[in-house]
């Protein structure tokens, strides 16, 4: 459990710790994160708010006991923190970046102190489907084996699931000779679910950065005005009623499968394929330009499970039915 830049993983797989060949890649996003005591007007009623726009988005979440976290995701090159000067501080810089956005964003930024804000570039890894999770009596867990984007808040959650499954498997061992087999069983139970969550996290960030724009709208003031009536704006408008359905399916999957009793949640996979396919079909024109990076294929399943994950999913399905 030594994180995304795992020395144990590098040794186990005989691969570089960093750089080319390490499997770690920059997501295209830098994130500013803040945590503070905050007297929100909707405390107790709304726990999670997301504001999405072209190349950037903002998240506000209630973490309990009057504490709030917010995240500002910006599409910028790696290392932008060192290259971009912010003489007025991070809060005022972000207020400029999100000028014209919801007053909720500006209210929480206004009351956030500079020492409550941190910036970091976001990196993740592809699912480790055909690569080692274990060797002998050593096992990887958490970010060392399935580092993911923070969009779904699942990095720590998936590490906890790893620990739970690992505990269950090792508790069932009656001798040291069984440990290696129990570690393999741990990998088998966690493989597809963790890969799916990794893929969903990356899918969420990729489609936001490449697929969304300001929604198109018709304004009836001094005649008729068509605002943002480009392809991406129209697509974003069309997706607005569909995204809440996708979010419900997504969070049901995250919350229902935590016991890792089955390698594949077929009901969730079918729902993802249908709703995710609709989203990709509608947004195809906006994301196909970056299809290689987004991983558009099999109605979006490659984005959700990863290329290796798709192959493993098929193999697991065959094992299930044969």
What pTM does this model have? 0.76
Find all residues with CB under 8 Å of 298, minimum gap 6, and list them: 310
Least confident stretch, 6-20, 116-130, 186-200, 290-304: 290-304
pLDDT in tens, 38-81: 999 999 899 989 898 888 999 999 999 999 999 999 999 999 98
322 burial type by CB count under 10 A (0-12 exposed, 13-18 middle, 19+ buried) = exposed
**CA distances, 30 to each of 69, 76, 169, 210, 318 (Å):** 16, 6, 38, 15, 40
What span, in angstroms and rounded, lies between the C-alpha atoms of 55 and 183? 41
Least confident stretch, 127-136, 139-148, 286-295: 286-295
What is the pLDDT confidence band of residue 245, given thresholds at 50, 70 and 90?
confident
Question: According to the model, what pLDDT value does residue 279 have?
Answer: 60
pLDDT in tens, 139-186: 999 999 999 998 788 999 999 999 999 999 999 999 999 999 999 999
Mean pLDDT of the chain: 82
What is the pLDDT confidence band of residue 320, given thresholds at 50, 70 and 90?
very low
Question: According to the model, what pLDDT value does residue 76 have?
Answer: 93
């Amino acid at each position: 459990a030594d994180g995304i830049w795992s020395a144990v993983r590098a040794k186990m797989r005989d691969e570089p710790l960093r750089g080319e060949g390490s499997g770690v890649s920059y997501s295209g996003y830098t994130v500013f994160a803040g945590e503070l005591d905050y007297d929100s007007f909707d405390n107790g009623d709304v726990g999670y708010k997301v504001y999405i726009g072209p190349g950037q988005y903002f998240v506000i979440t209630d973490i309990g006991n009057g504490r709030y976290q917010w995240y500002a995701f910006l599409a910028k090159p790696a290392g932008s923190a060192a290259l971009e000067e912010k003489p007025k501080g991070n809060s005022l810089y972000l207020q400029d970046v999100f000028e014209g956005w919801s007053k909720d964003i500006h209210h929480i930024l206004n009351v956030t102190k500079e020492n409550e804000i941190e910036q970091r570039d976001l990196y993740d890894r592809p699912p480790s489907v055909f690569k080692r999770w274990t060797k002998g009596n050593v096992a990887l867990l958490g970010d060392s084996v399935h580092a993911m984007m923070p969009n779904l808040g699942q990095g720590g959650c998936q590490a906890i699931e790893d620990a739970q499954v690992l505990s269950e498997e090792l508790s069932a061992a009656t001798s040291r000779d069984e440990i290696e087999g129990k570690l393999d069983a741990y990998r088998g139970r966690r493989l597809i679910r963790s890969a799916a969550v990794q893929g969903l996290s990356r899918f969420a960030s990729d489609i936001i950065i490449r697929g969304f724009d300001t929604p198109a709208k018709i304004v009836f003031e001094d005649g008729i005005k068509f605002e943002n009536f480009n392809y991406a704006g129209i697509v974003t408008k069309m997706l607005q009623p569909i995204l809440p359905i996708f979010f419900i399916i997504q969070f049901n999957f995250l919350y229902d499968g935590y016991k890792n009793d089955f390698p594949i949640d077929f009901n969730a996979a079918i729902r993802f394929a249908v709703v995710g396919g609709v989203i990709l079909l509608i947004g195809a024109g906006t994301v196909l330009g970056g299809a290689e990076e987004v991983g558009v294929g099999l109605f979006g399943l490659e984005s959700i499970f990863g290329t290796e994950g798709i192959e493993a999913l098929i193999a697991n399905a065959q094992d299930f039915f044969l």
